[in-house]
Structure 1
């Protein structure tokens, strides 16, 4: 079986490939693509794979834009962190899906379902009602902040959330730190901020710190089931994840 993976997180793609090969050692992963445009170009040039494993949110947008640009004739298993209600749209169209973090047992169930369907599967468009699926997702997902207006001297700057490395409290002052190391004060409390930030991208490490997933550079085992983090840019104070939060943190980081 030839499989195409569409996933913009390298670790997630590698883990998915490992699980697929555990299920079938003869399975061949053709490529791991990370964006809508890259996928459209690949599918235009290459023969259709036997299966596409497709993340919903990728580098340059939602994966459904692929179906709006090109006819997809391969069966698709979506990987997603969207809630169950939004996923009902997938079930209407008999599209299988895996909730992140992906469990091997769930992957096996999806692959077995594909086997059952393959005997009657024709290489025709999947018949996706893209508008209906997008509408279900848009109606049910929270509108998270995409940028912050911050003060920079006498100016006001707009900082996109993907530029944020972390937000932390120091001497009762909340500071937004960009991935370039620039610091800007924020008026909102961390309690309020964590409510408006995408939980796929941001994690409340402790009472003083909210992390962006790309800011975590190293993880070290610590005492009594805790972990100690190294982030980029560096933060002077130690970052310790409690033993209670460590499983949640690892699941978040491994999505």
Structure 2
């Protein structure tokens, strides 16, 4: 008998165990392959294993927002997101999402999500096992995204407006996010780099690494770096090198060439 397989990405061990037990109670014929607890662990697992049939993925992990995973690897199987925060719902469905479950997860809601998955898997089998593009389906069903246009910046006892188009890059240091403008002025943004990334137009901005988001207008040139990485030089500071990992190099080139 060939078992369908699943993994759980959840940094809270007890929550992961409860989800596993609840799912296997509803579908005992499935086989769990792994319980992963971080972005880094998940990326490493997908780089060394075949894709499972299903991923349960918590959005807020110990080492950051789970959407960082999708900038490192391509997941082609179905995903059911789990979280205690409803604000991420729309972003979730922009990735290969089958469903979105709020914690604490109830059996009837999990059953509904499983039925949706099974219907999709049956459809794929009827299409001669061709890959079904969940991400494309999610985009067709989702509303058009409205991206952030400006930030309100606090300066002593007053405030100023900072247009997003004027930001050459965003950088995070010790959990403090700074917007660096094309005229090399630095402004502290009162939110995380992960949240900032979610609000920016991906046509104009690229998450180069865990510390940096680049504006395409700020990119001067880039060159090959050791280990298959890329070194990007900015118009605002030609001496500085922004390093892009080998895993993200192809995505960066595609972004530049789009």
TM range (shorter): 0.3 to 0.5
TM-score (norm. length: structure 1): 0.47
Q: Which has the higher contact order (CA 8 A, sep 6+)?
A: 1
TM-score (norm. length: structure 2): 0.47
